[in-house]
Amino acid sequence: MAKPVVAIVGRPNVGKSTIFNRVIGDRLAIVEDKPGVTRDRIYGSGEWNGKTFSIIDTGGIEIDGVDHILRSIRVQAELAIEEADVIVFMCEAKSGVTQSDEEVAQILFRSGKPVILAVNKVDNMRRMDDIYEFYSLGFGDPVAISGSHGTGIGDLLDEIVKNLPDLTEEEYEDDVIKVALIGRPNVGKSSLVNAILGEDRVIVSEVAGTTRDAIDTPFEKDGQKYVIIDTAGMRKRGKVYETTEKYSVMRSLKAIERADVVLVVINGEEGIIDQDKHIAGYAHEAGKAALFVVNKWDAVEKDDKTMHQNEQNIRDNFLFMSYAPIVFLSAKTKQRLHKLLPVIQHVAQQHARRIPTHLLNDVISDAVAYNPPPTDKGRRLRINYATQVAVKPPTMVIFVNDPELMHFSYERYLENRIRASFDFEGTPMRLFTRRKSDES
């Protein structure tokens, strides 16, 4: 289900990132302490009073070639207006209303989007008097908050959820595989979509995917139904948008949320850059089935070692997604394109796969017998049993005598043994350790 998007907008040093981290919570700010998973996130998830939403910290959006601060703020505000359902306009109490604040206010006021005015750094009662001048910006009652102390955050979240829209999206049958193509600009996502659909020549219809104009394209091949979720951004954009690398993350995240399988598209001519890792990291953290698609393979000078070298380069750069298969192809010439849909179908099946409890416990028992858990201060981890509790992604709970004795390296060992026994190619796995008495 697509989630509404909230954007935090404001000039530098008003505390946008602090509030962003407060809203998403520390447990979400760093999802996994593994090599390659991005840390400088600008996009996270929040929840308040049973309502969930995505949130953007526009302070993390880098505008290439723009060194004027006011211009940068303006562009970030425009991006937020285009992508967000609710905008949090952040100012800072001590500085009062600045020229930059007034500039952003004018842009936001014309947008017609719900705008919540938050005045940060109201760290004590004496600062409360400083918020009154912010009424002049025209957004009603300012919400006084303190990112450093955490005060007022609940009031801010109340206002956010009050303004969230109720998003509806197209419903599909369970047997339809929803596929999202993600990647930085100019890796050939649009060409690949056209190549897939052009080869199959069975476009059924184009339907509105969500209220934010994403276009879903259903098609069928060899009896399997698919839906391609467009993330290419079909509307024309100015040069500023084209050079805003991190902007692509916003659109990609919306598609990832709705997808079963995510294609991480890489430009075979240019190779891998950090932005590829940023975007792939979000698919991994969302628990989606995924594969790497190296596009423009026709333009790469090759010998008998080229494919192996490129594959190894991907593995080295995406250590956190070692489970994801790699497909080399050319959308332009259709070279190797026929290999793509069978891999998509395979990883979708693995993503939804459920393992009987007795088979899972047989594998765990064999793994423990082959490599017993190490001792920790004289105490040894004892695994009682395991069970799969969810699919998409496959999620296992392992009941033990003391979860604190489960070392990360041993958990990874168990995951590798489960993968070796049951495949699970193309899908992340979730392993949770619980004390046996926690079962009830």
CATH code, 218:
3.40.50.300
The answer to whether 249 and 42 have CB atoms below 8 angstroms apart is yes
Q: Are residues 154 and 188 in the same domain?
A: no
Q: Is 183 one of the annotated binding-site residues?
A: yes
The per-residue pLDDT for 173 is 84
Q: Which residues contact 53 (CB under 8 A, 6 or more apart)?
A: 3, 4, 5, 6, 45, 46, 47, 86, 160, 161, 164
Domain identity same for 290 and 221: yes
Candidate ranges 218-232, 240-254, 300-314, 353-367; pick with highest mean pLDDT: 353-367
Average pLDDT score over residue span 110-127 = 88
Please indicate if the annotation marks 265 as binding a ligand: no
201 CB-contact burial (10 Å; exposed 0-12 / middle 13-18 / buried 19+): exposed
Task: Average the pLDDT over each of 127-131, 337-341, 408-412 and give the range with the smallest value.
Answer: 127-131
pLDDT at 375 over 70: yes
Q: According to the annotation, is 190 in a ligand binding site?
A: yes
pLDDT score for 31:
35
Determine whether the annotation assigns residue 142 to a binding site.
Answer: no
Q: How many CB atoms lie within 10 A of CB 251?
A: 18
DSSP assignment letter at 151: B
If pLDDT is split at 50, 70 and 90, which confidence band does 419 have? very high
Answer yes or no: is 365 a known binding residue: no
pLDDT at 199 over 60: no
Q: How confident is the model at residue 294 (pLDDT cuts 50, 70, 90)?
A: very high
Q: Residue 184: what residue type?
A: R
Number of structural domains found in the chain: 3
Whether residues 152 and 185 fall in one domain = no
Let me know if residue 61 belongs to a domain.
yes
225 labelled as ligand-binding? Answer: no
User: Which residue type occupies 269?
Assistant: E
- Domain end point (choices 163, 186, 218): 163
What pLDDT is attached to residue 255?
83
- Mean pLDDT score, 56-85: 68
Same domain (yes/no): 244, 277 = yes
342 is in an annotated binding site: no
Indicate whether 39 belongs to any domain: yes
Separation CA 285–CA 26 (nearest Å): 15
Query: What does the pLDDT read at residue 185?
Result: 72
CATH number, domain with residue 402: 3.30.300.20
The reply to whether 256 sits in an annotated binding site is no
Residue 168 forms part of a structural domain = no
Q: Is 314 annotated as a binding residue?
A: no
Q: Which domain holds residue 367?
A: 357-439
Q: Is 334 annotated as a binding residue?
A: no
The answer on whether 239 is annotated among ligand-binding residues is no
* 184 assigned ligand-binding residue: yes
436 is in an annotated binding site: no
Mean pLDDT, range 227-248, rounded to an integer:
53
Indicate the pTM of the whole model: 0.74
**Range with lowest mean pLDDT among 114-118, 194-198, 436-440:** 436-440
Q: Is 48 annotated in some ligand binding site?
A: no
Question: Residue 27 pLDDT > 50, yes or no?
Answer: no
Answer whether residue 291 shows pLDDT above 80. Answer: yes
> Is 28 contained in some domain?
yes
In a domain, 170, yes or no: no
Q: Is 116 helix (H, G, I), strand (E, B) or coil?
A: strand
Q: Are residues 361 and 297 in the same domain?
A: no
Give the pLDDT of residue 170.
63
Does 186 appear as a known binding residue?
Answer: yes
Is 431 or 235 the better-scoring residue by pLDDT?
A: 431
Is 120 known as a binding-site position?
A: yes
Q: In this structure, are 374 and 296 located in the same domain?
A: no
Is the pLDDT reported for residue 159 higher than 50? yes
Residues 32 and 98 in one domain: yes
Do residue 25 and residue 116 come from a single domain? yes
Q: Considering 139, 163, 187, which residue would you say is the last residue of a domain? A: 163
For residue 234, say whether it is annotated as part of any ligand binding site: yes
Q: Is residue 189 annotated as involved in ligand binding?
A: yes
Query: Are 314 and 181 in the same domain?
Result: yes
Is residue 296 part of an annotated ligand binding site? yes
pLDDT at 12: 80
The verdict on residue 169 lying in a domain is no
Q: Which residue has the tokens 């294609």?
A: 263
SS3 for 53-105, per residue? EEEEEHHHCCCCCCCCHHHHHHHHHHHHHHHCCEEEEEEECCCCCCHHHHHHH
Using a pLDDT cut of 90, give the percent of the chain over it: 47
- Interior/surface letters 119-151, b for 16+ CB within 10 angstroms, e for the rest: bbbbbeeeeeebbeebeebebeebbbbbbeeee
The response to whether 150 counts as a known ligand-binding position is: no
384 and 321 assigned to the same domain: no
What pLDDT does 347 receive?
A: 97
The answer to whether the beta carbons of residues 402 and 383 sit under 8 Å apart is no
Residue with the bigger pLDDT between 87 and 36: it is 87
Say whether 374 counts as a known binding-site residue: no
Name the range with the highest mean pLDDT among 92-106, 185-199, 251-265, 399-413. 399-413
Which three-class secondary structure state does DSSP give residue 412? helix
pLDDT at 15 over 60: yes
Measured CA to CA, the distance from residue 270 to residue 109 in angstroms comes to 41
Task: Give the model's pLDDT for residue 277.
Answer: 83
Question: Domain for residue 244, yes or no?
Answer: yes
pLDDT computed for residue 241 by the predictor? 45
Which residue has better confidence, 219 or 171? 219
The domain boundary, picked from 129, 163, 197, lies at: 163
Same domain, 268 and 328: yes
Mean pLDDT of 307-318: 94
Establish whether 15 is an annotated binding residue. yes
What SS3 state is found at 345? helix
CA gap 371, 179 in Å, rounded: 39
Angle at alpha carbon of residue 78, lines to 74 and 80, rounded to 5°: 115
> Are 347 and 363 in a shared domain?
no
- β-pair type (261-267, 207-208): unpaired
Instruction: Work out the average pLDDT over 273-288.
Output: 85
**pLDDT over 50 at 66, yes or no:** no
Residues 72/43, Cβ–Cβ less than 8 Å: no
**Top-confidence range, 7-21, 156-170, 196-210, 308-322:** 308-322
Q: Which of 74, 90, 84 is nearest to 142 (CA)?
A: 90
Q: Is residue 171 part of a domain?
A: no
Does residue 187 have a known ligand-binding role? yes
H, E, C per residue of 266-294: EECCCCCCHHHHHHHHHHHHCCCEEEEEE
CB hemisphere CA count around 89 (13 angstroms): 29
